[in-house]
Structure 1
Amino acid sequence: MPLPFLTADRVFDEAADDTALPFADRDRWRRPYRPGPWRVGAAALVLLLASYVLFAAVIIAVAGPLGSAAVCFGIALAVIACALRLLRMGVWVSSQGLRHISFLTTRTVPWAQVRSVRTVQQPVRWLGLPRTVQGQALVLTRHGRAPQDVPPLLTTHNADFLERPEAFDRAADAVEVWADEHRPG
């Protein structure tokens, strides 16, 4: 089974210098970077928890009432769905616009509404927790909105880029290039 999100960095590294966007099909939504080790590790732990819950559902189905097994099976499916959503979180781009996927919400901004996408120094959340540290953030400025209305798209201290500053720079540059090439005017 191909896992296209694992090859994003390699595709950008192997691309020729004259092509900033090495993808032939620009209408597909794609993440221009790989998920970070913190995000993948957390999803793996959540999937491990799901396997224990599924095992418990099988034991309950064999030894107990089927209603309780169905509840355990439903909980396992919800945990698996959470792990998959955790892996999908991040910034996705296509020729239609920019999509920011968080755990509970998805915001899509057409390129026509994007004024700028730039990297700034600012206090950022450490792994999404309330604690803030000084770092870099990729921020989106939309037409008709104040910059404070939109949370940062990427930060140097989120689950994808913690302790990987060069990966953050590559991802921020890739999103900025998509914005520059698809934004009207």
Structure 2
Amino acid sequence: MPLPFLTADRDAEDLAPATTPDENLPYEDLDRWRRPYRPGPWRVGGSALVLLLASYVLFSALIIALAGSLPGAGICLAVAALMITIAVRLVRVGIWVSPQGLRQLRLVSGTTVAWSDVAAVRTTQQPVRWLGLPRTVQGQALVVDLARGGSLPVVVTDRGGDFLGRPEAFAVAAEAIEDRVAAHRR
């Protein structure tokens, strides 16, 4: 079996994926919510770190239960379950689209907007939060304007967990979301 990734002299077009991101596979469910971009390395790494810490807490719950203190083991088990829930939610943060509309998920809440209620999606230069921390830096943000006025809180930025250090990926993701909005608004 040939292993094309082992040969260094191949052209980039030879290594292109078999399907483009806009193509649908025949077995895909087109009605489900999907993120038009991949989660970034900072987001996945942070979630993996929280899961690693949760495994240590689960192991300590086992040791505490074997030592005979069931209330302490129960507390550790509850803390580990909370950490696992946070890790899963951390990976899901971002903008999701479906034929029904646009869904913006944050760590503890989310907002779903029908396509008819979305006026525009645009990128703006503004102060944004660095990796979701309280510190703000100048960066680009993807802003969802609503038809009734106002906009959704900013979740996707070029300084967030998905796009920190990858400005090209932010531009591609913003364009993909803008294209989805334009396609569903017709």
- Equivalents in 2 of 1:121, 1:85: separation in Å? 27
Q: Which residues of 2 match residues 1-185 of structure 1 at below 5 A? A: 15-16=19-20, 21-23=22-24, 25-147=29-151, 150-184=152-186
CA contact (8 A) 1:123 1:135 kept: yes
CA contact (8 A) 1:140 1:153 kept: no
- Equivalents in 2 of 1:72, 1:125: separation in Å? 32
Listed one character per residue, the Cα deviations across residues 97-121 of structure 1 (whole Å, up to 9, x for unaligned) are: 1111000111001101001111122
CA-CA distance at 1:15 after TM superposition: 4.2
SS of the residue 1:154 aligns to:
coil
- Equivalents in 2 of 1:175, 1:153: separation in Å? 13
CA-CA distance at 1:167 after TM superposition: 0.9
Listed one character per residue, the Cα deviations across residues 113-134 of structure 1 (whole Å, up to 9, x for unaligned) are: 0011111222211112222222
SS of the residue 2:43 aligns to:
helix
CA-CA distance at 1:153 after TM superposition: 3.9
SS of the residue 2:140 aligns to:
strand
State, as a whole percentage, how many aligned pairs show the same letter.
Answer: 55
AA matched with 1:170: V
AA matched with 1:110: A
Moved over 4 A (4+): 12-16
Tell me: CA distance 1:182–1:13, structure 2 relative to 1, closer, same or farther (3 Å): farther
CA contact (8 A) 2:106 2:155 kept: no
CA-CA distance at 1:13 after TM superposition: 6.3
AA matched with 1:60: I
CA contact (8 A) 2:94 2:156 kept: yes
Name the TM-score, length of structure 1 as normaliser: 0.84
How many residues are paired up?
A: 168
Listed one character per residue, the Cα deviations across residues 154-182 of structure 1 (whole Å, up to 9, x for unaligned) are: 11101110000111111111111110000
Structure 2 gap ranges (5+): 1-15
SS of the residue 2:50 aligns to:
helix
CA contact (8 A) 1:32 1:93 kept: yes
AA matched with 1:182: H
Name the TM-score, length of structure 2 as normaliser: 0.84
